[in-house]
Structure 1
Amino acid sequence: MYAVIKTGGKQYRVAAGEKIKVEQIPADVGSEIVIDQILMVGEGESVKIGSPLVAGASVRATVLTQGRHKKVTIFKMRRRKHYQKHQGHRQNYTELRIDAING
């Protein structure tokens, strides 16, 4: 069984037992969260598509870690104008383990 969930402005296809990194969620490490924004639930040939959400569906997940991704380097330059700008950015994430999908 798999589901398409929406969290942090993005959509993820998840199945039970998978680990995913999503935008930061304010939850303690080891706590269990319930994601109720389910766009689609599928099992084999049967698929339930919501409009926009599937009614009564939810996904239970456990928070494994809170962390930061690798640094993304931004470098801007204008040739022959003596303009150079260096920037860096590290995005926060929450790593989740999908425990169960209730469809």
Structure 2
Amino acid sequence: MFAVIKTGGKQYNVSADDTITVMALPGEKGDAVSFDTVLMFGGEGQSTLGAPFIEGASVVGEIVEQKRGPKVISFKKRRRQNSKRKRGHRQDLTLVRITSLGAGGASPAAAAASSETPAASAPEA
């Protein structure tokens, strides 16, 4: 099974026991985090798409490490002007291990069956 989640303005395709690197999340090593913005949930020949998110679905993970990314250098130079500028930046990152995927929403087959049931049980006038 897999899920597509959204965090930090990016989308990640995750499965159970995957380790992903995301933008900095609050918390310490060993804390549990929950991603409630699940865009897609699938596996075993079926998939559920959200519009835009799947209600009730969540992906649970555990913070493995809080770290910083590699240094990125921004260097600007204007030739023949004796003008240059050098800046560096390191992004704060969080390493998360996915522990479980919770569908929460109904599967497409179950949704089709439930949509037929109320129509059949409604009295005809």
- TM class by shorter chain equals over 0.9
What is the aligned length? 103
Residue 19 of structure 1 pairs with residue 23 of structure 2? no
* Distance apart, 1:44 and its partner CA: 3.2
TM-score (norm 2): 0.79
CA RMSD of aligned residues (A): 0.8
The alpha-carbon deviation at position 45 of structure 1 amounts to 2.3
CA distance in 2, matches of 1:80, 1:44: 63
The structure where helix makes up a greater share of residues is 2
TM-score, normalised relative to structure 1: 0.96
Which amino acid in structure 1 is aligned with residue 47 of structure 2?
A: V
Please list every run of 5 or more consecutive structure 1 residues that lacks an aligned counterpart in the other structure.
Answer: none
Q: Which residue identity is paired with 2:52? A: P
Gaps of 5+ in 2: 104-125
% of aligned pairs identical?
A: 42
Instruction: Return the structure number with greater relative CO, CA threshold 8 A, min gap 6.
Output: 1
Instruction: Give the match for residue 62 of structure 2.
Output: 62
More strand by share: 1
Aligned partners of 1:22 and 1:41: how far apart in 2?
Answer: 19
Q: Which amino acid aligns with 1:63?
A: I
| Aligned-pair CA distance for 1:68 | 0.3
